[in-house]
Amino acid sequence: MQVSLRVCSLQDLEPGEGLRIESVTPPIAVFLTEEGTVHAVDDTCTHQDASLAAGWVEDCRVECPLHESTFSLLTGEVDQPPAKKKVRVHEVQIDGDDVYVELSQEAPNLPPGVTTA
């Protein structure tokens, strides 16, 4: 059975920026777009160990701050190398001011040398 976890409040989020949530393994990143939508993906770039929460958000995509790969916040798909694998997308629910995330059951696509243990 899937459980939704409260990860933050809407006040914790800045439009166009990410928030790293380390209370889950692997960490996730929660984003509030300039359009006002909230999304959650795995925080670690699939190419190399870099936090996507520190990346740039535009047009519902996040750009990795290390090598500029971009990932869709809607599907997790990558469209800019050097990353080749998508990031997991997690379902987000808003209840009042609370942001809940239901973690994906897919296996994470972590970069070489990064483990969930």
Domain boundaries, given as residue ranges, for the chain:
4-102
* pTM: predicted TM-score of the whole model, two decimal places: 0.94
- Does 27 or 3 have the greater pLDDT score? 27
Look at the alpha carbons of 42, 48, 52, 54 in this order and tell me if their dihedral is positive or negative. positive
Fold of 4-102: Rieske Iron-sulfur Protein (2.102.10)
Mean pLDDT of the residues in the chain: 94
How far apart are the C-alpha atoms of 56 and 49, rounded to whole Å?
16
Q: Mind listing the pLDDT tens digit for each residue in 32-68? A: 999 999 999 999 999 999 999 999 999 999 999 999 9
